């Protein structure tokens, strides 16, 4: 199998699932991994023969595991290795962050020109088109592309991006992709902070829920706990709206309160109360019973509170505007569709983002000063439809005007 986006998360998640599947005997799989944005990651991994240790850090103790499922590490710009690999693998897994799924007309046009000229394009979707074209040219059959980033219907979205770009290049290639390549949606979960001198630290919890076909086979990831389902949506919404939105809330409200890590923020009763308020907003919109949601809240609370994991709030705050559009605004939209208010915890997260941008803590658009204008322009930036809802604007305006003890509105 191949992987695009070699980073800490891949090594702690998909590579680890493959490692555990291999350990149980049966078919042995290896990963040829390609970096997305950091060629140095491939060099560093090659230096250890692609083997590495994971420090699995529970609340009380560590466990060390050696992973040897990654068998090749390549600079993502190595077109020869990419095409050779994509011609033969059964599965490609992808972790390219939320930003990797964005379409951008100028970049897409440049990518289509690069593809037409036989050069390796820049965006992940266009790279996949390049690899699939090499596969078709050498007579390769169908394969699976598994999206592993924190977005709603990630596989379907990636499939549309790849199909759209392929169609602009070569309709026959687009038809072949449509017929033979399966875009699998998946929900991934394992808290893995950016590695430090101490190496690659991850939490004990690891989950993976997948929906889609694997026309050329796959590792037996289920032995490591992966779940194969018909529809990932309920799992995806629960993960994005509860855990990931919780992370964003803690980052955006915790940073201005002087906290550095998720666990630090979890020691602040105010942050914990806001997290509870955010999660209370999910009850009416998630297809799980109150008991199931309570259990999930408890489990995520314990994971966030694991003080032996140093998960930096600044790392989570990166790309906040994009993340809120995926983790928080869909909840507001769903609540409004059901005739409910916007959700106070959800709007508090938006207000915290607006305050952080205005206070220069985060990069973002120019936001005007008065609460009503600020609320409208923040919403306009994050979600085109909500800014036209006067109730949502009014509720948000009320929250952005509340000053916190450090003097930053939140
Ligand atoms: C986090 C995620 O950085 C972030 O935005 O919310 O990386 C989170 O740690 C993972 O999705 C956990 O599975």
Q: What are the tens digits of pLDDT across the range 275-295?
A: 999 999 999 999 999 999 999
Q: Is the CB of 190 under 6 A from ligand 1?
A: yes
198, 231, 264 — which closes off a domain?
A: 231
Number of CB atoms found within 10 A of residue 131's CB: 27
Q: Assess whether 311 and 389 both reside in one domain.
A: yes
pLDDT in tens, 350-377: 999 999 999 899 999 998 888 889 999 9
pLDDT at 38: 82
Residue 393's domain spans which residues? Answer: 234-400
pLDDT at 404: 47
For residue 297, the domain's CATH number is 1.10.1040.10
Portion of the chain with pLDDT greater than 90, in percent: 90
Q: Is the CB of 11 under 6 A from ligand 1?
A: no
| Average pLDDT over every residue of 248-255 | 98
Q: Is the CB of 362 under 6 A from ligand 1?
A: no
Number of CB atoms found within 10 A of residue 174's CB: 19
Q: Assess whether 217 and 259 both reside in one domain.
A: no
Identify whether 172 is part of a domain. Answer: yes
Q: What three-state secondary structure class fits 54? A: strand
pLDDT at 198: 87
Q: Assess whether 17 and 139 both reside in one domain.
A: yes
Identify whether 263 is part of a domain. Answer: yes
Pick the atom of ligand 1 nearest to 319's CA.
Answer: 5
CA-nearest residue, atom 8 of ligand 1: 191
| Average pLDDT over every residue of 62-87 | 97
Q: Assess whether 325 and 198 both reside in one domain.
A: no
Q: Assess whether 202 and 298 both reside in one domain.
A: no
pLDDT in tens, 24-73: 988 999 999 999 878 888 999 999 999 999 999 999 999 999 999 999 99
User: What token pair was written down for 152?
Assistant: 């709603």
Least confident stretch, 39-43, 377-381, 398-402: 398-402
354 Cα: distance to centroid of ligand 1 (angstroms): 21
- Short-list 186, 287, 190, CA closest to 228: 186
Cβ pair 220, 90 in contact under 8 A = no
244 Cα: distance to centroid of ligand 1 (angstroms): 6
Q: Assess whether 255 and 378 both reside in one domain.
A: yes
Q: Is the CB of 13 under 6 A from ligand 1?
A: no
Q: Assess whether 219 and 240 both reside in one domain.
A: no
Residue holding tokens 């019973």? 289
Identify whether 222 is part of a domain. Answer: yes
| Average pLDDT over every residue of 224-237 | 97
ipTM over 0.90: yes
Q: Assess whether 288 and 394 both reside in one domain.
A: yes
Pick the atom of ligand 1 nearest to 189's CA.
Answer: 13
Least confident stretch, 2-16, 33-47, 144-158, 165-179: 33-47
Where helices occur in 138-260 by DSSP H, the ranges are 154-169, 171-180, 233-238, 245-254
Q: Is the CB of 244 under 6 A from ligand 1?
A: yes
- Please give the mean pLDDT across all residues of the chain: 95
Number of CB atoms found within 10 A of residue 299's CB: 13
Domain count, the chain: 2
pTM higher than 0.90 for the full model? yes
CA-nearest residue, atom 9 of ligand 1: 191
Q: Assess whether 205 and 244 both reside in one domain.
A: no
CA-nearest residue, atom 6 of ligand 1: 244
């Amino acid at each position: 199998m191949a992987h695009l986006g070699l980073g800490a998360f891949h090594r702690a998640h998909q590579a680890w699932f493959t490692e555990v599947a291999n350990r149980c005997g049966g078919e042995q799989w290896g990963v040829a991994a390609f970096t997305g944005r950091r060629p140095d990651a491939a060099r560093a991994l090659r230096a250890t023969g692609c083997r590495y240790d994971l420090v699995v850090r529970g609340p009380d103790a560590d466990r060390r595991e050696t992973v040897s499922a990654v068998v090749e590490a390549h600079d993502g710009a190595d077109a020869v290795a990419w095409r050779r690999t994509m011609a033969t693998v059964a599965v490609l897994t992808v972790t390219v962050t939320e930003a990797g799924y964005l379409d951008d007309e100028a970049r897409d046009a440049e990518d289509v020109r690069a593809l037409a000229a036989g050069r390796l394009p820049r965006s992940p979707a266009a790279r996949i088109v390049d690899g699939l074209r090499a596969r078709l040219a050498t007579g390769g059959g169908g394969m699976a592309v598994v999206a592993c980033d924190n977005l709603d219907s990630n596989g379907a979205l990636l499939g549309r991006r790849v199909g759209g770009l392929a169609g602009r290049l070569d309709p026959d290639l687009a038809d072949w992709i449509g017929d033979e390549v399966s875009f699998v949606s998946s929900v991934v979960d394992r808290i893995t902070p950016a590695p430090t001198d101490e190496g690659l630290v991850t939490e004990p919890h690891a989950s993976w829920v997948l929906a889609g076909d694997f026309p050329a086979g796959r590792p037996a990831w289920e032995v490591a706990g992966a779940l194969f389902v018909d529809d990932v949506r309920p799992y995806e919404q629960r993960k994005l709206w509860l855990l990931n939105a919780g992370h964003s809330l803690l980052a955006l409200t915790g940073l201005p309160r002087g906290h550095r890590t998720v666990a630090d923020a979890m020691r602040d009763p105010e942050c914990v109360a806001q997290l509870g308020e955010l999660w209370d907003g999910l009850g009416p919109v998630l297809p799980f019973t109150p008991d199931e949601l309570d259990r999930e809240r408890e489990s995520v609370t314990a994971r966030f509170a694991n003080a032996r994991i140093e998960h930096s709030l600044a790392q989570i705050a990166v790309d906040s505007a994009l993340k809120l559009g995926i983790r928080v605004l869909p909840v507001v939209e769903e609540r409004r569709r059901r005739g409910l208010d916007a959700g106070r915890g959800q709007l508090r997260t938006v207000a915290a983002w607006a305050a952080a941008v205005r206070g220069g803590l985060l990069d973002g658009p120019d936001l005007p000063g008065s609460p009503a204008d600020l609320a409208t322009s923040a919403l306009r930036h994050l979600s085109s439809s909500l800014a036209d809802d006067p109730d949502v604007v009014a509720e948000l305006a009320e929250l952005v005007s509340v000053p916190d003890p450090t003097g930053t509105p939140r």
